[in-house]
Amino acid sequence: MTPRSLSEIAVDTTVVVKAIAHPTDSRLYEKARRSLVALAHKAGITLRQNYNRKAPRLVAQAGRHAHARQFRRMRKALRTLKGYTGRVLGGIGRKLGAVPEGGLRTRIEERIALVTRLLRQTPKSTGKLYALHEPEVDCISKGKARIRYEFGCKVSIATTLAGGFVVGMRSMPGNPYDGHTLPDTLQLVETLTGSCPSLAVVDRGYRGHGARGTTGLVSGTRRGLRPRLRKLLRRRSAIEPEIGHMKSDGRLARCALKGTIGDALYAVLRGCGHNIRKILAHPRALLLALLGALIHATGQRDYQPVTIQTAGRGYSRPTT
């Protein structure tokens, strides 16, 4: 890597999917009710009804109605299931004063806050809850025909245009606009490499980025480009296979670490692993070249073709 290669980078974002189940309303209501019942049992709270028998059956029924496209019946089952969860929540809230202060009461209060947030959210709400054990998960629209939405964390990636080495990689919780992530990514690259890049080639999602000190070359620009800048602009798409290799070979596709700190650590470790794999590819190629030269220098054996008669086929083929 040369100072010139560090001064010209490509920046893009991707989604690291969190290791959670697909968030359906019926599953979330049932999981919330089940967790509240378990905490009440630990605290010694006696509930008038816990719906351990009715609620699981109702979850399966709602799934069958959705599969049959009987949405009116499905919504009715969801309302009933939501009522079950709300009744359990109210029963615990009325008897929470009898629980002594300590870690268990704190856990119950935190779970009550999460379940209350779940019951109050609507399809048009902002900051929705998609997993009780991962409240920070974001719903990110990708516009793909196969996967319309991905549930996880947005990650910003900066690679060199020459070589494709990762020089900056960090998680961006909260699903920010791509253009707003560019200044933070450039600051990270400057911190890691010791020099601020002079050129950042980005896609059209970064229009209006507002980055200062670095020239942002947006994909699709046609006017006023010198031949070299036009060539560098074509190199922007080279970051896409690098992201694909990180997802397939580096396991960037699914994060199993907990919380926003887990997302940040996972992104940094995947970037380090990608660079290590690219570095190890060079001595591997050198070793193969040395072995080939050694075999060529010691001389090759002469192999004579042998004719084998294949039974029942009536033809012969030479093999070495």
Is the pLDDT assigned to residue 313 strictly greater than 50?
Answer: no
The dihedrals phi and psi of 141, each to the nearest 5 degrees, come to -80, 130
CA distances for 251 relative to 33, 136, 246, 254, 266, angstroms: 33, 21, 6, 7, 10
Taking the C-alpha atoms of residue 265 and residue 134, their distance in angstroms, rounded to an integer, is 16
pLDDT of residue 214: 85
Under the banding of pLDDT at 50, 70 and 90, the label for residue 301 is low
Is the CA virtual torsion 249, 180, 210, 267 positive or negative?
A: negative
160-178 confidence digits (pLDDT tens): 998 889 999 999 999 999 8
Q: Which residues contact 264 (CB under 8 A, 6 or more apart)?
A: 170, 171
The dihedrals phi and psi of 14, each to the nearest 5 degrees, come to -145, 175
For the chain, state the CA radius of gyration: 29
Token pair in block for residue 4 = 């010139």
Is the pLDDT assigned to residue 320 strictly greater than 70?
Answer: no
Taking the C-alpha atoms of residue 193 and residue 197, their distance in angstroms, rounded to an integer, is 9
Is the pLDDT assigned to residue 316 strictly greater than 60?
Answer: no
Higher pLDDT, 305 or 293: 293
242-256 confidence digits (pLDDT tens): 999 999 999 999 999
Give the position of tokens 């004579």.
304
Contact 200, 186 (CB under 8 A): yes
pLDDT mean across residues, the chain: 88
179-211 confidence digits (pLDDT tens): 899 999 999 999 999 888 988 999 888 887 778
214-225 confidence digits (pLDDT tens): 888 888 888 878
pLDDT of residue 79: 95
Taking the C-alpha atoms of residue 119 and residue 320, their distance in angstroms, rounded to an integer, is 73
Percent of the chain beyond pLDDT 70? 93
Under the banding of pLDDT at 50, 70 and 90, the label for residue 304 is low
E-strand spans in the chain? 8-18, 138-141, 149-160, 166-172, 199-202, 215-218, 254-255, 306-309, 316-319
Prediction pTM value: 0.80
Q: CA torsion 91→94→97→99, rounded to 10°?
A: -10
Is the CA virtual torsion 175, 178, 181, 187 positive or negative?
A: positive
